[in-house]
Amino acid sequence: MTPYEQIKAEIISLESALLSAHPQMPQLLQKIHRQLKNDPEIVTLLEESEIAIIVSGLQKQTQTSLVASLTKASASKKASLKKVTEDDLF
């Protein structure tokens, strides 16, 4: 089995774990992380749906939301841009 096929199989297992709140989810996430870190070109072969499964697993495991974090980051960026005056440009 190639590394790409192994990752695909683990992503399928992760999806199943997400659906059933499987207790092995942390181990699956660690294994996927290690394999992708050791063989980063596999990331380019993954489909968006597979990446979404990994992100869902990470969000569930860490109890965080990436969308909220991105929204906060863009809000603070917009706020800092409003403070720019003409004097800052020259």
pLDDT (tens digit per residue) in 66-78: 766 555 655 555 5
Mean pLDDT of the residues in the chain: 79
* Residue 24: pLDDT band with limits 50, 70, 90: confident
The reported pTM is 0.55
Rg (CA), the chain: 19
* Residue 38: pLDDT band with limits 50, 70, 90: very high
Residue 28 confidence (pLDDT)? 87
6 neighbors 35 (Cβ within 8 angstroms): yes
32 neighbors 10 (Cβ within 8 angstroms): yes
